[in-house]
Structure 1
């Protein structure tokens, strides 16, 4: 048996090495013949056979195990001419054969129309980054579509150098660029600045934008003189979808659920019963004495039930019409109805520390949020091309975010000296809030080439933003525990304490115009671009606030809101003398001049100056007790120079160096000298507040080796004079303290860092990484509560150096990508890391609140299931990551056995807050025709 076995093995080995068993391998890359860029998704076939390959993310194709013989290679890619070539393959041959495709052109009455990079693609995004005059990061519509995020705010956390501030349910709301607080950035839509519905600041809540309506997201990090100058951190420019060259239609529908709400009930209330106006506004205004029947009880009647599934829909349709396709029209809309929740653990420190500057915890709060958000985004654009030199367009945008929030809070007193079962009061608060935010914008713009050297662009826009919080209602009750004569714990009955109502409305309306004139002569044989222009914006902001307190008629047990008997404690409300009802008028005018030219063949120089003039006038609702600052006018002018160098090593590599000056204006709420009771300290405005001004330096190396691969390495430095920080100030005496925004004048703030972006694709696999290191420093005046040499305790004013609020030293994102285009499979696994940062700056030395570092994981998958039809799934917060806020101070006195404080499990710090949000699941169907 051994000899036949040996013969069999030897024969098998020889046969496997014989030419008859060998097969050829053919591989290569499909390229654009002019740019050399690889083309992803191009079909390559061997004519007359079943062999077909689709180029991967890096433009590569490969055929394996091909028998020797003569073949014809054929590829026909959209907007490129058909390519074919005959080739002979021999056995055991490994051939690399690159294919260069020529772009197709069409003659339309002697006007040559050429193809260009398709809108919304990664290729267009990389091209925008490479050719831009500014340092910027660009995210395409396709990348946004494949991310697990459904709002622009959540998309922004994936961009290099951007962190986000989250709302009570864990979703991103505001963006922080390069560690600079949200006040230091602004938002534009198609290059036009829009007003904010935020009741306090200029910044836009970025969660109002559904992600589906974007064509591109630009995060601009250096300003040129032709850009508005009030951005020290950066600019977020949302580019909406444009009319396509041919008919486009896409639609999607999805549903999902928040895992947290599957494990507990969802609390809701009847928001339709809410009165839009307060009793005074409904009954003649100031002086009306409200009665109990003026207040609905339906929005304080909370119902517990199961959460409904989320529902998301989107639609985009566009085309070009008329002769030569002069008229372009596009409409894009998105509707999202989502249910979210969070569970919070909050330890509330005292308004001042214990002697020795040690934290003093007074209360433990347990909160549950139940939130329903309905988000609507609609945009449409109509453009008309008179000819190749003149075009006008009309753009409209409507955004709406309605948030119905129920918040249930149990507030217990911290008692660290107890020797048995706990006693003391327990306060319970049930709050209902309906917050309605809207942004409406209409922009008319024109682009005109007057001569071969002179061009004029103009834009006129009307925008309106509103925020309405009608009848925010809170029902306050109390219970607790005591001891009977035998020392047993006895739970007290739940009593009604107070029933409060407040109304707030903010309206912010802009009228603005922009003009840019470009002249491009030749000087010494070189094209030189001169630009001059300006803008003017008139803004009217109106803020209205009124609140009422109702108290029970005697001691009453709480059963439900309908059984309570109340009297109105403040029948005229706060309308008559209210610092929070104010109007602001702001006029901003600006002019600029800049020039751009090539110095030699590789160095581009752009320089210029911008001048911005600010006029503001505010009025607080008339108060018979006149006070300083009740009305005020503020004016100032800023001169903002800029100089930018771009050295093009070759057509794939750039080195950039930039300097520019910029400013950050105070928020409208901050310059009005209001006074308002906060949760810990009174809060106030400051009419002496000045804008912060910064000198900014940027450098970046850029390499775009092929396709959508890239390597970006940059550094930045910012020196900020008059930075705006919140400080604890005495207000009439040592025990009367108020938090107000002030300019830190003792020392400038500094902020510097390093950014790295790396993207690489290997056929079907890809990896995208970005990392940002940021280091900022600001000196604050704070207080210390310590004993002196005699043993007496005193407050001392000291200085403390700390990072800017919201600045994380380390930020990182990673995406692992798999695209199998032949079967229509696209998968993204994303990791986002945000390092430790200050969440709240304490007025006392060493007692800042720090948010611990967070790592979140997400997964999104899309699969083609039929022609033009795709199924997709998105899973967010895979690790169920909690947001944790801590205070780096001793907690030994709170951990005395056996009655140590609950939830204090952090090893070397005191827990201040812990938020759990749960995982979010989404599945849907998408139809795409373009």
Structure 2
């Protein structure tokens, strides 16, 4: 009987199906070169029938035979309708190409977007997400004239870029509290002193959008408290194209110099030979000149983008995208810098000049193959070569070295070359309506070389220059090599459950695993000049040192080299300082997303990580060598709640626990000497635990507008700081400086169409600001108990280093489009208030970087369908950047300089 009923039901179902036809097709974005528009809504007017396009813009819908009106819609785009007639058993194709408009947000169910380069798409993603997130896309980057990822991230709420580097501070928390990834997979650092890679290495040419997570979710590694920056690389689908661009750039300070003096023998393109001499103690093997050369300080850039899609079979598609670019920049800074004691007496007091030259060569290739709408595999290859060259000159008073009436002269020539290679393989597989598998794997390498850093120090007497000889390190050549490779992987299985009447699901359960395995090899060699009597009291020309510090002088015995281990008579003298690091993190996680009702949704997650870090060293501080290992198991719960008051208003809450690891160089017993002092590692350093809480309100008046207000708080146990330790030489090290610290504040974001003349002619404005307070305990006794050195903090409490109370960005844009032409002009202003640079100790006050503002103007126009022009003017206010040491009895200016204005012109042509 049961079998008969089953057969009758099956026959009835088949008979109904046989009366239906099939409608299929593709939905494209006409504003993005007919790229696929994912998750557009396809519905039948007057019925409840409908579906959504997949990630490739494809859709398929079963319809009863007869006449129908098909509606294609997508939030922020014009709706298109088509009348069709379909017969039973017939398969009919109907495609649509949608254009964007200024339609207000309504209750259209959209789960994701295909092209997140657009501001409207990213706001939609932010609106619909169950987690708190913030994004900046290629469209906004272009409008604001942003050329690298570090500058891009600094345009988002509560983020500050550290001047002179690609490091960022998120909500007052610096490098150690942040994390960087690309397409969800981690990227190694290019700097042995930093956890994160310098974001200014990444050209925005490779970026579709950048996601900044300030709240924690289980898919992210737990070494995170400030922000997680995920760079989503560009890809392509649709019609083939080729775009070429060329441009130039000048810095107002640089072009004013009669001579722009840089190092000799460094490659103009940023590719230099970086080998350390094998035995310079016995044979003079240095090939780089000590003399400087003059360069014309005019920067340039050129690059191309290209892409093409190929259909393979009935459902397959291969999408290819490639980009390559080169740019160089010149900068010049002139000002003053000094070091002072607690009583105000100067130990160094310099007038400074710094000539800088930087290059960036970037190439990326991206291939995505879709076997069908349910299965996609992608490969990303990214190559970046960045170089930074500087000539720093310091003239003035140096206690014990050049403390006469005429003072002294110190020059340091520095060159750093970073080469990054990223390989990523990514996959998405829709196993059925409810199960989806995502996975990714990467192998990344970074090579960072500092070859032949040159430092020479002189005292001046009666206008003549004489080498200082207080220490052999006064004059030296230094080589540093960092090689790091990392393998990382992730896999996650999603299961949808709780199907609703609208055919969507109420919940999703995710189970995943991710890991990263890092190996690091670092070595450094310094060759110090031991000057003989022939050079000790002989006047020299500091701009023609090749005349005296050369092979002939070496062979004549005018000078010799020695290392920290001794001179050429010792077999071990050439042994470099080294450390090796290994780190492995294995994490399993689970998370449940659930819609409790149409207004309330939640994400509950738990991640468990096993962390192991080992470091071995052999340095001047420990000639025998040693190693240090620690392991940690971390349980990291997290919660996100969303209350949708209506289609335009969201209230959100996020809470989580994370941790902060010390870095390799911070834990290795290694001494690193800078012009301003020496830094050494601390094997007794240990991780911090972090507790995070966010409350946020979002209001979306229209598809391209937002008002949001966020309150956040972070509590950090055993925070880590860079400190001046108690020693005769005032060395710098790292320690857990207190039992606790916290950061709390509010963030405001506004994007608004101020005047809308029509859909293609408007004036828009944006403002984001963050006001925060940070506080931490400084416990000298704790430092003494837990470490092999002591500290004597001037104050018992302080703000976090790098944390500004107020950070603000504002912009105003004019946009006009007609036919194949457009005009876009943006003026933007950024402000950052005072922030601590370094903590005071031994009665010295904190060093504080004073607040300043910058003003930029960006103009872009499309002169024809194929030709575009861009003009940028940046740092128009050219403020003084000042640092003050706030001693107990007075504030003393210890650093001041200007960066100069920058002007650039670019042309691009699309074939």
The TM-score range, normalised by the shorter chain, is: 0.7 to 0.9
Q: Is the 8 A contact 1:289 1:571 kept in 2?
A: no
Cα distance in 2, alignment partners of residues 99 and 676 from structure 1: 57
- Pick one of 801, 804, 829 that aligns with 2:800: 804
SS in 2 for 1:621: strand
Task: Determine the C-alpha separation between the residues in 2 that align with 1:622 and 1:828.
Answer: 52
* 1:290 pairs with one of 281, 287, 291: 281
Give the secondary structure class of the aligned counterpart of 1:455. strand
Aligned CA-pair RMSD? 3.0
C-alpha displacement of 1:423? 4.5
- Normalised by the length of structure 1, the TM-score is 0.78
1:260 aligns with 2:253: yes
Say whether the 8 Å CA contact 1:390–1:449 is kept in structure 2.
Answer: yes
- Corresponding position of 1:551: 530
Match of 1:65 in 2: none
Q: For residues 336-485 of structure 1, what are the structure 2 equivalents within 5 Å?
A: 336-350=327-341, 353=342, 358-413=343-398, 423-424=404-405, 426-480=407-461
Cα distance in structure 2, aligned partners of 1:99 and 1:135: 25
Q: Which runs of 5+ in 1 are unaligned?
A: 1-38, 43-78, 80-97, 283-287, 416-421, 481-489, 784-794, 892-907
Counterpart mapping for 1:494-509 below 5 A: 494-495=466-467, 499-509=475-485
Deviation at 1:691, TM superposition (A): 1.3
Residues 568 and 819 (structure 1), Cα distance of their counterparts in 2 relative to 1, 3 Å cut = same
Correspondence for 1:865: 863
For the pair 1:854 / 2:836, whether they are aligned, the reply is no
Paired residue for 2:745?
Answer: 753
State the 1:277 CA deviation. 2.4
Corresponding residue SS for 1:866 = coil
Going from structure 1 to structure 2, the CA distance change for 1:687 and 1:577 (only over 3 Å counts) comes to: farther
Q: Alignment partner for residue 700 of structure 2, among 697, 701, 704?
A: 704
Aligned to 1:788: none
Pairwise CA distance, 1:342: 1.1
Question: Is the contact between residue 185 and residue 441 of structure 2 (CA under 8 Å) also seen in structure 1?
Answer: no
Separation in 2, partners of 1:394, 1:504: 33
Q: 1:631 aligns with which of 613, 627, 633?
A: 627
Q: How far did 1:928 drift? A: 4.5
- Residue 645 (structure 1) shift: 0.3
Task: Say whether residues 1:721 and 2:717 are aligned partners.
Answer: yes
Secondary structure in structure 2 of the residue aligned to 1:821: strand
* 1:660 is aligned to 2:656: yes
Confirm whether residue 581 of structure 1 aligns to residue 578 of structure 2. yes
Distance 2:900 2:485 in 1: 38
Partner of residue 609, structure 1: 606
Q: 2:562 aligns with which of 567, 570, 577?
A: 570
Q: What is the total number of aligned residue pairs between the two structures?
A: 771
- In structure 2, C-alpha distance between the alignment counterparts of 1:255 and 1:104, rounded to whole Å: 49
CA distance in 2, matches of 1:305, 1:809: 41
> Which of these residues, 694, 699, 702, is aligned with residue 690 of structure 2?
694
Q: Displacement, 1:467?
A: 0.7
1:515 equivalent to 2:515? Answer no
CA contact (8 A) 1:448 1:457 kept: yes
The answer (yes or no) to whether the contact 2:619–2:669 under 8 Å persists in 1 is no
Cα deviations by residue, 1:825-864 (Å, 9 ceiling, x for unpaired):
1000000000110112122346011111111100000122
C-alpha distance in structure 2 between counterparts of 1:687 and 1:244, whole Å = 51
CA distance in 2, matches of 1:650, 1:576: 73
Determine the structure 2 residue equivalent to 1:821.
817
Given that 2:563 and 2:573 are in contact with CA atoms closer than 8 Å, whether structure 1 keeps it comes out as no
40 and 646 in structure 1: CA distance in 2 versus 1, 3 angstrom threshold = farther
* Cα distance between partner residues in 1 of 2:180 and 2:364: 17
Match of 2:231 in 1: 238
Offset, 1:40: 12
Superposed displacement of residue 664, structure 1: 1.4
1:220 and 2:213 correspond: yes
Alignment of 1:123-142 (within 5 A): 123-142=120-139
**Residue 164 in 1 paired to residue 161 in 2?**
yes
Deviation, 1:617, is 1.5
CA drift at 1:180: 0.4
Partner secondary structure for residue 666 of structure 2: helix
Contact 1:546 1:573 in 2 (8 A): no
User: Using a 3 Å threshold, how does the CA distance of structure 1 residues 447 and 729 change in structure 2: closer, same or farther?
Assistant: same
| Distance change >3 Å, CA 821–CA 524, structure 1 → 2 | closer
Structure 1 contact 413–425 (Cα < 8 Å) conserved = no
Q: Is the Cα–Cα contact under 8 Å of residues 607 and 644 in structure 1 kept in the other structure?
A: yes
Partners of 1:154 and 1:729 lie apart in 2 by 34
TM (norm. structure 2) is 0.80
Cα displacement (A) at 1:867:
2.2
> Relative to structure 1, is the Cα distance of residues 372 and 625 closer, same or farther in structure 2, using a 3 angstrom cutoff?
closer
In the alignment, what sits opposite 1:842?
840
Q: CA deviation at 1:220?
A: 1.1
Secondary structure class of the residue paired with 1:690: coil
**Secondary structure of the residue that 1:207 maps to in structure 2?**
helix
Alpha-carbon distance in structure 2 between the residues aligned to 1:765 and 1:623: 62
Match of 1:646 in 2: 642
